[in-house]
Amino acid sequence: MCGPGFLFTIKQEFPPRTSRITLRPLMKLKKLVKEAAETSRPFRVTKGEDFRLKDYDPADTGGLKDKDKAINTLKRGVKLLSHLQEKLYAQDRWAVLLIFQAMDAAGKDGAIKHVMSGINPQGCSVTAFKAPSQEELDHEFLWRAHKAIPERGKLGLFNRSYYEEVLVVRVHEELLEAQRLPKELIGKDIWEKRYEDINNFEEYLTHNGVVILKFFLHLSKGEQKKRFLERLEMSEKNWKFSMADVKEREHWKDYQKAYEEMIQNTATKHAPWYVIPADNKWFTRLAVAAAAIEALDSLHLQFPEVDKEKKKELAKVREALLHNKE
């Protein structure tokens, strides 16, 4: 996907603005960005106060009915994402962090795989956050995530994140005990404090050029059951099945409440939540890619300009190479 042939395709589709034959492809590109914005915006939450999870339907497909057409749009979207990421890397000013949170089997892995499918591996990282190690438990809760924040020029994806600290740790309060915090710091307001810490952390990152998008893949309980059964019935999916996932399902209501409250308290303009319907995988992937496209496009990324001196130097090198017979 990332070889020279692929770059050639991109060059043809997205030639520089100065070329006279670029008008049609450029219009197409603008149309795709506009479509991306229209697809993802209805699911963006920038202010949590009035947020209610029940207002979002996990089976929503944003008015799109034609799955094949959507899959084609996703393919074009992934190419565009790859082009934007090249600029992000070359410009080396901004970093972009995409956070994925969801119940089991909601399709985090698939969404991440699709967003990444055209991306230059040198410019990105994926970090999965599992139950913390002893070393991680010995530090404050943002420690392990802070170390994994993408560097300037890079795209970072978190498969789960520090948000687990107000989700699984809230649903299973014994996990909080395992963190061995001083007793006097564990009051009723511990979750409010964590929201505040997270908001401050994200604001700090934003002030330092890290653009944050947070995705909650919103799955229905019925669809989860269907996917679990598939994992049991299809041998190639057996490895994905875990008894622990079924146990977590018993806490469905508590999780939904924790997600709702998390979004109410941490949806901000600078680090919005996207509540992405997850019952139809094809739409989930399209909506995630669309949100990423819109965010990257809004940065007006540019390849670094080569100054006159450098251009002269490059012309000389070119001449020398052409005249060298070896």
248 in contact with Mg ion (CB under 5 A): no
Taking the CA of residue 159 as centre, how many other CA atoms within 13 Å lie in the half-sphere pointing to its CB? 18
Q: Which two tokens stand for residue 236?
A: 């190639």
Q: Name the phi and psi angles at 193, rounded to 5.
A: -65, -40
Listed ranges 18-26, 51-59, 103-111, 190-198: which one lies at the site for Mg ion (CB under 5 A): 103-111
129 in contact with ligand ATP (CB under 6 A): yes
Smaller CB separation from Mg ion, 165 or 297 = 165
Q: Which does 19 bind (CB under 5 to 8 A by kind): ligand ATP, Mg ion, none?
A: none
Q: Which residues contact 238 (CB under 8 A, 6 or more apart)?
A: 231, 232
Residue 239 Cβ vs Mg ion, minimum distance, rounded to whole Å: 11
Q: Which does 137 bind (CB under 5 to 8 A by kind): ligand ATP, Mg ion, none?
A: none
User: 81-120: which residues touch ligand ATP (CB under 6 A)?
Assistant: 104, 109
Element (H, E) at 170: helix 168-171
Residue 138 Cβ vs ligand ATP, minimum distance, rounded to whole Å: 13
Q: At what angle do helices 67-91 and 108-116 cross, to 10 degrees?
A: 60
* Angle 125-273-97 from CA coordinates, rounded to 5°: 20
Asked whether the beta carbons of 197 and 143 are under 8 A apart, the reply is: no
175 in contact with ligand ATP (CB under 6 A): yes
Residues that bind ligand ATP (CB under 6 A): 104, 109, 129-132, 159-160, 164-165, 168-169, 175, 242
- State the residues that interact with Mg ion by CB under 5 A: 104
